[in-house]
Amino acid sequence: MEEKELEVLILKYTAALKTLETQISILLQDFERQNNYNPVEHIKSRLKTYESASKKLISRGYEVTPKNIEEHIHDMVGLRIVCSFLSDVYKIVEIIESCDYITVHDKEDYITNPKDTGYSSYHLSVYIPVYLIDGVTLVEAEIQIRTVAMDFWASLDHKITYKFQGKIPEEIKNDMYKCAKNIHTLDQKMLKINDQMQVIKEDQEII
């Protein structure tokens, strides 16, 4: 019985990921059509493995069952949208929130309020409708939206955490935090340059 439940759960997660990828692609294409501008550098998606979900459940003291995966693992379906500029992050948040097909039920602005490590990103927890023979079910997914600079930092942080198995030396922690602060400053400067470019472009078009 549990094996059948797991098969259905994996089917729902796989369908939700495909649906989310398609819907986000449509929204961004429409945004580009209307604004003649694509705010996205690249998009990555992933489905958390059963092994990874199992480890997460065990670390939290839960039995490994399909029901517990569905109830306690909220990022089985994940999508990461990487942008050039800070302003693009918030544009994409607005686009997703305005979509009737995607239901946003929680959000965390780690850009305005970074984590203690220095981590910055914008997280949306959403529900995606999946249509199966037995009816419609809502599947949870997580969308992360960040700049290229933030993504570079997060990628390095992930590698460091994995290498030291979570026990990162204080010196490296401090250096990573300083890098995160520098990245925030860099993002602000790059946004200012982009704004200046837009003003110059508009002035040239008027002339």
Give yes or no for a contact between 42 and 82, defined as CB atoms under 8 angstroms apart.
yes
- Residues 6 or more apart whose Cβ sits within 8 Å of residue 158: none
Instruction: Break the chain into its structural domains and give their ranges.
Output: 2-206
Q: Which pLDDT value is given to residue 147?
A: 97
Give yes or no for a contact between 44 and 80, defined as CB atoms under 8 angstroms apart.
yes
Does domain 2-206 bear CATH number 1.10.3720.10? Answer: no
pLDDT in tens, 94-119: 999 999 999 999 999 999 999 999 99
Q: Which pLDDT value is given to residue 203?
A: 61
CA distance 122 to 173: 22
What CA dihedral angle connects 195, 197, 202 and 207, to 10 degrees? 150
- The predicted model scores a pTM of 0.90
For 128-151, the three-class secondary structure string (H helix, E strand, C coil) is EEEEECCEEEEEEEEEEEEEHHHH
